[in-house]
Amino acid sequence: MNKGLGIAAIVLAALVAAAPAAQASPRKVHSVVLGAAKRVPYSKAGDPAGAAAGEDSLKIRGLLVDGFLKEWTSGEAHDVTDRSFVVRRVIRVNDSLPGDKQGHWVWQRGPWLLVDRVKGHIVALKLPDYDPGVSQVSWFRDYGAYCGLNASGKSLYAVVAQVAARKPVLAKKLAAFDPENHSGPVCGPAEWQREPLRVTFHPTGKDAVSFDVVPGSAVLVEDAGDEPETPAAASK
């Protein structure tokens, strides 16, 4: 074989092999930020867990992904890992009565969201026995501690949930629950201790109670996030 033709064939083969990599789109970098805070009308009814005395407005912030508003949030965010965080969602509720001529909208605290900064994904957390009107979550690592209600709504439980785990790490009954006799928060914020790993609950009107938590590996699995974006369809 002619030496010049051999070199040309090698170069051509290298170019063909490199073509798919050259055509692949680079991974898109997402921007995930919490916007500036503002105050909105707040309804204490149905949301006694986070209501302070005399509270009639709620401080909220927009959750923006790539500059687009995805959710409204309230309170402080908690970093679970260096790329994922949790923050509480707020919900705008139609508070108009039948016959009202003008619409009346109020805001209430809602469920917690898990946000991936790298991929821009937002997932609503399904925390066991979580009730937006009762539960105040205290976060540590990927654990959330709060007072929750069982399915019947008649029993108050001390709950420790782990992000992305289906079953609670801890679920212990604290007391019977009667919503008509609870006009304010049913529990104070839980307190965490690192070594040994321990959490203390403060049910209203009762003595504090502590539980040791057996530490385990984080169950939150974060995708690498380095898959290429889907190439745009070629114009005809």
Position 56 pLDDT exceeds 70:
yes
pLDDT in tens, 74-107: 999 999 999 999 999 998 888 888 888 887 888 8
Q: Which residues, listed in sequence order, are joined to residue 115 by a DSSP beta bridge? A: 85, 122
Q: Are 131 and 149 in contact (CB under 8 A)?
A: yes
pLDDT in tens, 162-197: 998 889 999 999 999 887 766 667 888 999 999 899
Query: In 3D, which of 174, 143, 175 has the Cα closest to residue 161?
Result: 143
Please tell me the predicted confidence (pLDDT) of residue 18: 52
For the beta sheet containing 170-176, the strands, ordered from the edge strand earlier in sequence to the opposite edge, are: 138-140, 143-149, 155-162, 170-176
Cα–Cα distance measured from residue 62 to residue 177, given in angstroms and rounded to the nearest whole number: 34
Tell me what percent of the residues of the chain surpass a pLDDT of 70. 75
Quote the pTM value.
0.76
Q: What number of CA atoms fall less than 13 Å from residue 144's CA on the CB side?
A: 31
Cα–Cα distance measured from residue 45 to residue 187, given in angstroms and rounded to the nearest whole number: 17
Cα–Cα distance measured from residue 110 to residue 46, given in angstroms and rounded to the nearest whole number: 11
